[in-house]
Every structure is written in structure tokens, then in C-alpha cells.
Structure 1
Amino acid sequence: MNMAITIYTKPGCFGCRKTVQKLAAAGIPFTEVDLTQVPAALEYVTEELGYSQAPVVVVDDQFHWSGLNPANIERAIAYVSQEVSG
């Protein structure tokens, strides 16, 4: 199964930068989407997911969150590592 984490970010967002750094340091593949550049992405995270704070991290349909959340970052790293090796 191909895990594709998407991180929706905004320029100058401390939590966004830290989230990206943590996943990159763990070697977890992800796609970063700038919410100020992609109106459809902004609509998705606000209308579909109901979030108003960046970053918004989407691991899959059931596992997503907004804001800097170290516990969820660690969960995502473990989850993706398990999927990749399993």
C-alpha cells in the first residue's frame, strides 16, 4: 500500500516548518501543499475536514489533524514505517 502523507502549510508558519522537519528527519515521504497558492486545497481543509489552523496533516481518510502536534507526528511516523515495512 502506498502511503502518501500530505502536509498543508502556510508561509512563515512555525508549526508547519517543524512538522515538515520532523517527517523529513524520519525519512517519511510526504507532499507539501501551500494553502496560499492552492485555493482548492484551502477549500478541502476548511470545508471538507473542518480545520482552520495550519499545518493540516492528512495521513489517510481517518487519520488527520491540524496544528503542531508532536504526538500525532510520532504516530504518523510509526504508522507509515509499519505500512512500508509490512
Structure 2
Amino acid sequence: MAHVKVKIYTTPTCPWCRRAKEYFRQLGIPFTEVDVSKDRKGAEEMIRKSGQMGVPVIEIGNQIIVGFDKARIDRILGIS
């Protein structure tokens, strides 16, 4: 779990993005944040990976989660 790479595609005004980031902070899992409102390449990458334009999009390893789906995050991370 500690070695998994996490990337969160966000915008500054997204409340679910803030919740997702706070959840990973609570778990002590570092993440890379990509602000798609300022990073056009990051936005294109997010759309290519997820097929979605909405945020948050969370990438855990090679898994993509659209939205803040805590149960799915926990499953992928092996948290019961």
C-alpha cells in the first residue's frame, strides 16, 4: 500500500476533490495533484485515461476511479 503511486486530477472549486485529498492525507498516503483547470496536458491525460471530463479522477497504480468513491479506494488499497 505504501508504495502505490496516487495521482488526483482536481480543480480548485471541487468539494469532492478536497475530500479525496483530505482522505489520502488521513491515510498518510502521498499523492500527486494535477489541477486540470491550469494544466491542459494534465486535463488531456485525465480525459484519455478516464473518458471523463469531471473531477476528481483518482489514479491508484493503474486503476482509475471517477469521483470520490471511498469504498473503491479502500478496496484497491486493501483497507477493510
- Output the TM-score relative to the length of structure 1: 0.78
Residue ranges of structure 1 left out of the alignment (5+ in a row): 80-86
Verify the 8 A CA contact 1:26 1:77 in the aligned structure 2: no
Structure 2 unmatched ranges of 5 or more: none
For 1:11, the equivalent position in structure 2 comes to 12
DSSP-derived class of the 2:55 partner: coil
Q: RCO (CA 8 Å, sep 6+): is it higher in 1 or 2?
A: 1
Q: Could you tell me which residue of structure 1 aligns to residue 54 of structure 2?
A: 53
Aligned mates of 1:48, 1:28 — CA distance in 2: 22
Give the conservation status (yes or no) of the 8 Å contact 1:23–1:73: no
| Contact 2:49–2:64 (CA under 8 A) maintained in structure 1 | no
Question: What is the letter of the counterpart of residue 19 of structure 1?
Answer: A
Q: Matched residues, percent identical? A: 29
Select the structure that is richer in helix: 1
Aligned length: 78
The answer for the alignment partner of 2:69 in structure 1 is 69
Structure index of larger Rg: 1
The TM-score, its normalising length taken from structure 2, stands at 0.83
CA RMSD of aligned residues (A): 1.9
